[in-house]
Structures are given as structure tokens and as C-alpha cells.
A and B are shown apart, each in its own frame.
Chain A
Amino acid sequence: MTVISYRQALHDALREEMQRDADVLLIGEEIGRFEGSYKITAGMLEEFGPRRVRDTPIAEEGFTGAAIGAAMVGLRPVVEIMTINFSLLAIDQIVNHAAKIYGMFGGQARVPLVIRTPGGGGQQLGATHSQNIELYYAFVPGMKVVAPSTPADAKALMLAAIRDDDPVLVLENLALYNTTGEVPDVVEPAEIGRAAVVRTGSDITVIGYSRMAVIAREAAEVLAREGIDVEVIDLRSLRPLDRVTIVTSVKKTSCAVVLEDDWLTYGIGAEIAATISDGAFDWLDAPVRRVAMAEVPMPYAKSLEMAALPSLADAIGAIRATLDARARRA
């Protein structure tokens, strides 16, 4: 075990796969000489050369589409989109092409493509640069979307994404890059589509992914001091969604709170709440609560942005409110 940052874990996964498989290559804006806007690709150009580390012009649709073409003929391109916000400039290539080529070609062409891109607010980057829009891709059959919250998962899921024969979007998070955690010396690729019960508990299930899975663990620690026993599920994968782990947990605890960094209306949490309703309705003792960001474009001023984003306090408040609702019904 070694303690490393989320950023380092992503870097290590990319580097190991580049060393292991000569078909893996990196494509994106500013990833070579500049070493990536968030330095995930530091040293890569030097080690692997310009044939495998490709700096591109500012044209997201262009380099994503070109990577799809490269994937179809057998390479394993890893595309960096500087932030998920700019994936909107490539959404036709992702949704209409990467996700559909395998099916529309009758299984004759695979698209083993990885799109790495960070989401997340809290960096004071304004409304167009601070969105959590992973839902747009998790919505689409043919896509896989994974969202690690820890360095260990960042590495294991990145390895899995690169080895996967379908297009996988790896959602990174600006607020997590500098977080640290233990990573085993040898990491096996994760199973994409499997959530993790990262803390077992008996009183309530709290479900999150990416930054909100970190918040979920923190909330559980705070409440444990008061004797509240929270079970925490880190989704890790948004598509496929591990409905079994969610439903199994809620059948045990009988109530649930979902934490999400995106907007509430039609958000990821709505799908989780529906999953619980479908699979564990008769076990529920209180309505499922969702904690999400304010239903506004991200404000720019730091104080407003912090108020708009869901916080640890919001999560704890929602857990207490849900437990109160259950107590009133008992």
C-alpha cells in the first residue's frame, strides 16, 4: 500500500497501460508539452513520444471523432477533454457515433475508446465551466460511465476503462485531484458496473458517487459519533448502474439519502430513488431524500458558488431529516 493522490493514481494507470499495450495512445488539448491542464499526463510526451501522445488543435468534435476512428481500427485511444463542459462540443461524436457504432455496424466494429474528463464546481470557473453533466452520457445505451471517488478506484477504474471494448467515459473531479488515499502496490482493473459498500451500517443508506461519495463517507463519520450507523454506497459506475447493491442495502436499512453534485430535476438521484422505489418500496420507512445543487446555472462569486453546491452540512441535514421522518412514522 502506498498513499498517493487521485491525480497520481490516474497518471499511474495511464502510464502503466501505455507501457503494457502499445495500442494505447493519448489524444487531447494541451496534454503533451503542457502536460495537461490538470497535469494528469505529466511526463508522458517525454516518455512515449509524439506518436502516442498527441497534442491537438482546439476542436473537441474533431479529436473525439478522430479517436473513434482510431478505436474502430484497433487502437485504444484515451481522449482527454479538458473539462466535461467542453464535451458538449463533441456530443454528436460521443452520443451518435461512439455509443452506436458497435450496434449499427452489427457488431463488426468495436469502439474501445476512453474519454477522460473532469467535472465539478467549486473552482470559481463560472457557469459554463463548472457543470456536472455526466448524466448526459449515463443516459445513453452503448456508453459506459464510471466515476471514481478515491485514488484506488481512480486507478482500478481507469485500467478497466482502457481494457474495455466499449466506449467508457471516466468522470474525474476537479475537487478530488489533490485528495489522497491508499492504493495497493498491484491494482487489478475494477469490474465496471459494480458499486461498493464502503461502510456498512444499519440505520440508513447513503448513496453517492465522485465527490459526493467522499461527502457521504464524511457524513457517516460525523454521525457515527452520535451513534447513528450509516451504510455508504459509492456507485463508482453510473452506467451500468448496480441496482442490486442499492436495493439490497435499502432492504436492510429501510431508508435512504442520495447525494449528487448535479441538478436535482431529472438528475442521477432521481434514477436512484426510482430504483429504490422499484426494488424496495415495501421496506421503506421514509421517503428517499436527494441532496443536489441549487437549480441555477453555477454562480461565479465564490460565496454564491459554495452556497449553490451541496455540502457536508446539507448531507448531514438530509440524513437527520430522513431519520426524523422515520421516527415520526414508527
Chain B
Amino acid sequence: MNEPDLVQLLSPTGHRVDHPDYTPRIAHLDAEALRGMHRDMVLARRVDSEATSLQRQGELALYAQALGQEAAQVGSARALATQDYVFPSYREHAVAQVRGVDPVDILKLFRGVDHGGWDPAEHNVHLYTLVIGSHTLHATGYAMGIQRDGLVGTGDPSRDTAVVAYFGDGATAQGDTNEAFVFAAVNNAPIVLFCQNNQWAISEPTEKQSRVPIVERGRGFGVPSVRVDGNDVLACYAVTAEALERARSGGGPTFIEAYTYRMGAHTTSDDPTRYRSAAEEEHWRQRDPIDRLTALLEAEGELTAEYQEALAAEAEVLGERLRAEVRALEAPATSSMFDNVYATPHAVVDGERAWFAEYEASFLADGESATEGAGR
């Protein structure tokens, strides 16, 4: 497990590392901004642990932890402007949180009561895509649309817009993702292709997926590419800020490989002890993204008791609210399955809806057997 050549501004022990290109990009981050990032990461991890427990208690059907990837997600998301648009995969809970999506809304998906859960337009966060890599093309198309609308390169920071597509190392093998790189490159689309290389596509290690560092894949398409320490929130912020600036100003796409680690299982249905070693997990525990920012704040005297107490209290309140609200989430009415099949009325769906209403009413009327009216 040799450390590859990474952009790093914060060492695993929490010491600042100087970088000629990227240190200036974090110069404006004061103690309050750093504490903000720290808070985001701590709360994201709290949500993760609450959600995992809720799954174990049978309250969620499934959960995909973001554990260990908080710096990649919070750092990149904090670099976004309000008008920027995010296309997540299905593990970007911390990104969504930074963008203001309520974690309870995220967990609607994992409780299995809703395919989505939030309004994408409200947060400029697309709903999760569960088929690996498909959304990278949607993101590229959205970016091409922004370009066509003239929202790139105007010089007005409140207008110029970029798109970020999040995906994993596994997705870089998928055809759709490679086609997204082609289209982003040739159209000079305002997009940041943000790969969280968490080292594992379920049980498949990165070295079984690519013979070159993942970052090299972007270069082959002619997309400027950078490899960053994905457990360093400051470096993730800096490289994303640079990439977003390039996109918004008309400079085209950037590929970021955030080198990180999925500290948890692929999902709650997975058992990583079957395919990876305890030593490897320990190696990465030493590089915990939250610990190193905590160490930095402490060393700089900014981890005040007041802040820590407030954060702990906030996490408790969040955890309690999450448990209560998720448990209260109920399945929608059965007839709602007919609601959003088509955007316009459709005779077949309307017919089935009417049949179903009649079928349900038959129980209310006289307690008929379940066989009544079958064979639609």
C-alpha cells in the first residue's frame, strides 16, 4: 500500500503541507470555515452510524455507508457555488448534507418508501442513481445545457455555473462513464468528474480494475486530471475549487481522483472481512479524515471546548430526530404507484388505477375475498 503521488495540504497527523498551486486556494479559510468543515464531517459520520444501526434494527431495508469518505465529500461540496449542480451516485450522503438535503429525506430511499426523497431543484442535487456510472452521462448532458444557455464564462460569479458528477472507482470501467469523458472533453463541458477511489468495488480491489492509476484515465481523454488525498478535506476543497473555476470560466472539464477508503462495508448486505485484511483497515484508520482535521484545529488552538460541546449536543439532537423521524416514515398509499408513470394521462394506467380503486373499495364494502376482481 504505497502512498501514490497525491495533492495533500494536511498530513495524516494533522500538519499543514505546503503546495505551490493549492495552498493559495485555502488561504481564505479561517478557523470558522475549518470548524464548519469539521462539523459537516462529524455530523455526516453521525448520520452514517445512526443509519447503520437503524438498518440493523430492521428500520431500513439497506444502507450504504459513506464512512471514511467524509473529507472527499465535504471538501468538494464546500467548494460549490449555490447555482452549481451535483449528480451523486448513491453514497454521497455528506455531499447532500452540505447542500442542505435533510438526512431523513436521504433515508427515505434506504427505508424503501420512496425512490427519491428530496426536490433536486431545491438543493441542486440530483436524486441518487443506482445503476453504476449511468448518471455521468446525465451530468455531462446537463453541463452541455448550461453551456448552451450561456451560463459559462460570463465573468459573473453569480451566473457562471458548473456541474459535479460523483462516482466511484468501479464506475470508471463502465462504458457510460467512458462515454461521458468523451463527450465532456470534445464539448469542453463545464463539468467536474469527481471519482472517489475508495479502493473497493464491492470485493474487487482497484488494481483488478485498472492497470494505471485511475487519474491516468482522464488524461487519455484529454481531460486535465488531478489526484488528491481524498482523506484531506483541505486538499479536496482546493482541487475542486480549481476545477470548478476552470469549468465556470469556460475552461472545460476536469477529472479528480480522490484517493480515499471505504472504511465500512459496500452496503449493509456486504461483509468486507471476506475479502480484505484487518491490517489494511487499520492502515486506513490511521488516515481517518476527521481525526486529521481535529488534530489541526487542536494544534492551532481552534478546537475550543465551547465548540466541541455545541457540536456534541447538535449531533445528539440530530441522532434523536433521525431515529424518530425515520421510524415514523410510512409507505405511501398503494394507489400512488399509478401516479407518476407518465407525465400526461395514459389510458392503460388510468384503467388500472380505476380497477384498483374498485378492488380496494370491495374490501371496505363487504369484506370480499382477496380473489375478487383478480386477473386484470
Q: Are A and B part of the same complex? A: yes
Q: For the complex formed, measure the closest distance between the CB of A82 and the CB atoms of chain B, giving whole angstroms.
A: 10
Asked if B332 and A304 sit within 8 Å, CB to CB, the answer is yes
Q: For the complex formed, measure the closest distance between the CB of B214 and the CB atoms of chain A, giving whole angstroms.
A: 12
Asked if A302 and B331 sit within 8 Å, CB to CB, the answer is yes
Asked if A317 and B175 sit within 8 Å, CB to CB, the answer is no
Given contacts A55-B204, A57-B204, contact A314 B374 (CB under 8 A): yes
Asked if B204 and A29 sit within 8 Å, CB to CB, the answer is yes
- Among the listed stretches A9-17, A123-131, A152-160, A178-186, which one makes contact with chain B, having 4 or more residues with CB under 8 Å of it? A123-131
Asked if A33 and B274 sit within 8 Å, CB to CB, the answer is yes
Which chain B residue has the least Cβ–Cβ distance from A264? Answer: B376
Asked if A294 and B175 sit within 8 Å, CB to CB, the answer is no
Which chain A residue has the least Cβ–Cβ distance from B333? Answer: A304
Asked if B275 and A34 sit within 8 Å, CB to CB, the answer is yes
Asked if B371 and A294 sit within 8 Å, CB to CB, the answer is no
Q: Can you list, as one digit per residue, whether each of B202-219 has a CB less than 8 Å from chain A (1) or not (0)? A: 111000111000000000
Asked if B371 and A307 sit within 8 Å, CB to CB, the answer is no
A102 to B356 Cα, complex, angstroms? 47
Answer whether residue A300 sits at the interface, using C-beta atoms and an 8 A cutoff.
yes
Closest 9 CB pairs of A and B: A317-B374, A318-B375, A57-B173, A301-B331, A34-B203, A317-B371, A314-B374, A313-B370, A299-B337
Q: Can you list, as one digit per residue, whether each of A235-256 has a CB less than 8 Å from chain B (1) or not (0)? A: 0000000000000000000000
- Among the listed stretches A58-66, A113-121, A164-172, which one makes contact with chain B, having 4 or more residues with CB under 8 Å of it? A58-66
Which chain A residue has the least Cβ–Cβ distance from B202? Answer: A30
Given contacts A58-B173, A296-B341, contact A126 B115 (CB under 8 A): yes
- Residues on A with beta carbons closer than 8 Å to the beta carbon of B115: 126-127, 300
- Residues on A with beta carbons closer than 8 Å to the beta carbon of B61: 124
- Among the listed stretches B125-133, B183-191, B300-308, which one makes contact with chain A, having 4 or more residues with CB under 8 Å of it? B125-133
Answer whether residue A73 sits at the interface, using C-beta atoms and an 8 A cutoff.
no
Interface residues of A in 44-94 (CB under 8 A from B): 55, 57-59, 61-62, 85-86, 89
A129 to B170 Cα, complex, angstroms? 18
Given contacts A295-B341, A317-B375, contact A303 B334 (CB under 8 A): yes
A55 to B202 Cα, complex, angstroms? 12
Q: For the complex formed, measure the closest distance between the CB of B356 and the CB atoms of chain A, giving whole angstroms.
A: 8
A257 to B203 Cα, complex, angstroms? 44
- Residues on B with beta carbons closer than 8 Å to the beta carbon of A289: 375
- Residues on B with beta carbons closer than 8 Å to the beta carbon of A59: 173-175
Answer whether residue B112 sits at the interface, using C-beta atoms and an 8 A cutoff.
yes
A294 to B374 Cα, complex, angstroms? 12
Chain B contact residue count (CB 8 A cutoff):
44
Given contacts A57-B201, A300-B114, contact A308 B337 (CB under 8 A): yes
- Residues on A with beta carbons closer than 8 Å to the beta carbon of B337: 294, 296, 299, 304, 307-308
Interface residues of A in 278-330 (CB under 8 A from B): 289-292, 294-297, 299-304, 307-308, 311, 313-318, 320-322
Given contacts A33-B274, A57-B208, A127-B115, contact A257 B173 (CB under 8 A): no
Asked if B370 and A296 sit within 8 Å, CB to CB, the answer is no
- Residues on A with beta carbons closer than 8 Å to the beta carbon of B173: 57-59, 62
Answer whether residue A2 sits at the interface, using C-beta atoms and an 8 A cutoff.
no
Asked if B171 and A303 sit within 8 Å, CB to CB, the answer is no
Answer whether residue B344 sits at the interface, using C-beta atoms and an 8 A cutoff.
no
A251 to B341 Cα, complex, angstroms? 39
Asked if B201 and A58 sit within 8 Å, CB to CB, the answer is yes
Q: Among A29, A30, A61, A321, which residue has its beta carbon within 8 angstroms of that of B375?
A: A321
- Residues on A with beta carbons closer than 8 Å to the beta carbon of B373: 317
Answer whether residue A108 sits at the interface, using C-beta atoms and an 8 A cutoff.
no
Interface residues of B in 311-349 (CB under 8 A from A): 331-332, 334, 336-338, 341, 348-349
Q: For the complex formed, measure the closest distance between the CB of B195 and the CB atoms of chain A, giving whole angstroms.
A: 13
A30 to B375 Cα, complex, angstroms? 39
- Residues on B with beta carbons closer than 8 Å to the beta carbon of A89: 131, 174-176
Asked if A304 and B331 sit within 8 Å, CB to CB, the answer is yes
B interface, by DSSP: helix, strand, loop or mixed?
A: loop
Interface residues of A in 138-170 (CB under 8 A from B): none
Q: For the complex formed, measure the closest distance between the CB of A188 and the CB atoms of chain B, giving whole angstroms.
A: 35
| 18 A-B residue pairs with CB within 8 Å | A30-B202, A30-B203, A58-B132, A58-B133, A58-B171, A58-B204, A58-B209, A59-B175, A61-B175, A89-B131, A89-B174, A128-B131, A291-B374, A291-B376, A294-B356, A295-B341, A307-B356, A311-B374
Answer whether residue B18 sits at the interface, using C-beta atoms and an 8 A cutoff.
no
- Residues on A with beta carbons closer than 8 Å to the beta carbon of B175: 59, 61-62, 89
A297 to B371 Cα, complex, angstroms? 23
Asked if A321 and B374 sit within 8 Å, CB to CB, the answer is yes
A39 to B264 Cα, complex, angstroms? 21
- Residues on B with beta carbons closer than 8 Å to the beta carbon of A297: 341
Which chain B residue has the least Cβ–Cβ distance from A126? Answer: B115
- Residues on B with beta carbons closer than 8 Å to the beta carbon of A257: 375
Asked if A300 and B113 sit within 8 Å, CB to CB, the answer is yes
Which chain A residue has the least Cβ–Cβ distance from B116? Answer: A300
Which chain A residue has the least Cβ–Cβ distance from B114? Answer: A300
Q: Can you list, as one digit per residue, whether each of B154-172 has a CB less than 8 Å from chain A (1) or not (0)? A: 0000000000000000110
Which chain B residue has the least Cβ–Cβ distance from A313? Answer: B370
A303 to B337 Cα, complex, angstroms? 10
- Residues on A with beta carbons closer than 8 Å to the beta carbon of B133: 58
Asked if B332 and A291 sit within 8 Å, CB to CB, the answer is no
Asked if B275 and A58 sit within 8 Å, CB to CB, the answer is no
Asked if A33 and B275 sit within 8 Å, CB to CB, the answer is yes
Q: For the complex formed, measure the closest distance between the CB of A4 and the CB atoms of chain B, giving whole angstroms.
A: 24
Known: A57-B204, A318-B374. 13 other contacts (CB 8 A): A30-B202, A33-B274, A55-B203, A59-B174, A89-B175, A126-B115, A129-B130, A257-B375, A264-B376, A294-B338, A313-B374, A316-B371, A317-B373
Q: For the complex formed, measure the closest distance between the CB of A251 and the CB atoms of chain B, giving whole angstroms.
A: 22
A124 to B58 Cα, complex, angstroms? 14
Asked if A126 and B130 sit within 8 Å, CB to CB, the answer is yes
Q: For the complex formed, measure the closest distance between the CB of B207 and the CB atoms of chain A, giving whole angstroms.
A: 11
Interface residues of B in 129-156 (CB under 8 A from A): 130-133
- Residues on A with beta carbons closer than 8 Å to the beta carbon of B112: 124, 126, 300-302
- Residues on A with beta carbons closer than 8 Å to the beta carbon of B358: none
Q: Among B274, B336, B370, which residue has its beta carbon within 8 angstroms of that of A34?
A: B274
